[in-house]
């Protein structure tokens, strides 16, 4: 961890201002902590009014917040427009990320026909196959496998034990964590002669810039066409993208979600955790799919969708829940009606 005074910290963040502090040279910070309860010599952040009362009682030495909230506090404040965004800068300053050397470890393997850019790190037991191209400032952590003819864009950081298969093209500033696979075969078989016969997958995967993959995620290569991942997509752990899928820009997918093959997803789509998306369908730009939802048909318009296999918007699903409850309760109501009719001597025809 690094230690800063409030004055030093403010000088490193563009546009930051100091409020509620007479002498920012004397206020020290060496960690980041939650605003409740807070920790001495730490900085906390406040971006939500719901936490304002907790911030008023915080033990932290500094609060990263907006000018509006700073007026409600007595603790020294580092004032910015977007505290949650600036928090990333603060974390990097106080907890500097590990810097990898410009080095190829002695037990790594780089094929003589591979091209390695400037200032790269290739870790222990990593391997780079023939005709692969690695851009400048790329980190390949231990155990990474880069297949023949694959291309890795500059500034990328590929986590331990990742496999980037042959012919895959990855853009700039790609980030992946442990045990990811890009470009494995798509899941396609034909059942004949009493067995499942594999269909070769001859497409590849093309990944845009600024894409991130969580641990144990996988993107399958295309069958005849390519699987395409747009710029700025972010995938949580255990996300699977099937063959021939086309994802637009800034798609966010939470953990345990699977996207079946040949599905098209527009820009700025958010898909919650534990979702299942069927093959050969479309999800329009701007759509939100709630966690645990199963999408089995093309969605007609951008909206918030929830449920199992209904493809309903949130208001439609709420109506369905009411109707299901009414159906479940109907037998109870019917018994009560029959009991009342019996007491009143009313005979009803079945």
pLDDT in tens, 11-49: 999 999 999 999 999 999 999 999 999 999 999 999 989
CB atoms within 10 A of CB 278: 18
CB atoms within 10 A of CB 135: 21
Quick one: pLDDT at residue 340? 82
Structure tokens given for 168? 């895959």
Q: Mean pLDDT over residues 313-338, rounded?
A: 76
Q: Looking at the predicted structure, is the pLDDT value of residue 219 above 80?
A: yes
In residues, how long is the chain?
350
Nearest by Cα to 160 from 240, 92, 105, 227: 105
Catalytic residue numbers read 243
**Cα–Cα dist 242/184, whole Å:** 10
Q: Is 264 helix (H, G, I), strand (E, B) or coil?
A: strand
Contact status, residue 147 vs residue 140, Cβ threshold 8 Å:
no
Enumerate residues 6+ apart whose C-beta is below 8 A from 293.
272, 275, 276, 305, 306, 307, 308
Quick one: pLDDT at residue 53? 93
Model confidence at 157, in pLDDT bands (50, 70, 90)? Answer: very high
CB atoms within 10 A of CB 275: 22
Q: Looking at the predicted structure, is the pLDDT value of residue 105 above 80?
A: yes
First and final CA of the chain: distance in angstroms?
79
Q: Looking at the predicted structure, is the pLDDT value of residue 309 above 70?
A: no
Q: Is 250 helix (H, G, I), strand (E, B) or coil?
A: coil
Contact status, residue 64 vs residue 90, Cβ threshold 8 Å:
yes
Per-residue pLDDT of 158-205, as tens digits, reads 999 999 999 999 999 999 999 999 999 999 999 999 999 999 999 999
Structure tokens given for 24? 């920012």
Alpha carbon of residue 117 to chain centroid: 28
Task: Name residue, tokens 């390949």.
Answer: 140
When mean pLDDT is compared across 15-24, 48-57, 284-293, 338-347, the lowest value belongs to 338-347
């Amino acid at each position: 961890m690094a230690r800063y005074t409030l004055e030093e910290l403010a000088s490193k963040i563009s546009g930051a201002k100091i409020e509620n502090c007479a002498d920012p040279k004397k206020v020290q910070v060496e960690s980041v902590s939650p605003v409740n309860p807070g920790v001495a010599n730490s900085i906390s952040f406040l971006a939500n009014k719901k936490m304002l009362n907790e911030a008023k009682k915080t033990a932290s030495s500094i609060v990263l917040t907006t000018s509006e909230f700073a007026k409600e506090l007595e603790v020294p404040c580092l004032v910015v427009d977007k505290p949650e965004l600036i928090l990333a800068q603060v974390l990097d300053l106080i907890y500097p990320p590990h810097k990898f050397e410009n080095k190829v470890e002695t037990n790594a393997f780089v094929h003589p026909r591979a091209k390695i850019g400037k200032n790269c790190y290739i870790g222990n037991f990593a391997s780079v196959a023939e005709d692969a191209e690695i851009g400048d400032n790329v980190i390949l952590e231990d155990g990474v496998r880069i297949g023949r003819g694959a291309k890795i864009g500059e500034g990328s950081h590929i986590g331990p034990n990742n496999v980037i298969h042959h012919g895959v093209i990855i853009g700039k500033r790609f980030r992946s964590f442990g045990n990811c696979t890009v470009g494995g075969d798509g899941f396609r078989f034909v059942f004949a002669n009493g067995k499942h016969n594999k269909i070769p997958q001859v497409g590849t995967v093309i990944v845009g810039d600024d894409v991130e993959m969580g641990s144990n995620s996988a993107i399958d290569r295309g069958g005849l066409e390519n699987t395409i991942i747009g710029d700025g997509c972010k995938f949580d752990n255990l996300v699977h993208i099937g063959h021939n899928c086309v994802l637009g820009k800034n798609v966010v997918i939470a953990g345990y979600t699977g996207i079946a093959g040949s599905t098209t997803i527009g820009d700025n789509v958010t898909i919650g955790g534990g979702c299942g998306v069927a093959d050969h369908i479309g999800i329009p730009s701007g759509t939100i799919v709630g966690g645990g939802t199963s999408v089995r048909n093309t969605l007609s318009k951008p909206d918030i969708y929830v449920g199992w296999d209904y493809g309903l918007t949130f208001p439609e699903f709420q109506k369905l829940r009411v109707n299901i409850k009414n159906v479940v309760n109907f037998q109870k109501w019917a018994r009560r009606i029959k009991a009342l009719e019996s007491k009143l001597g009313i005979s009803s025809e079945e």
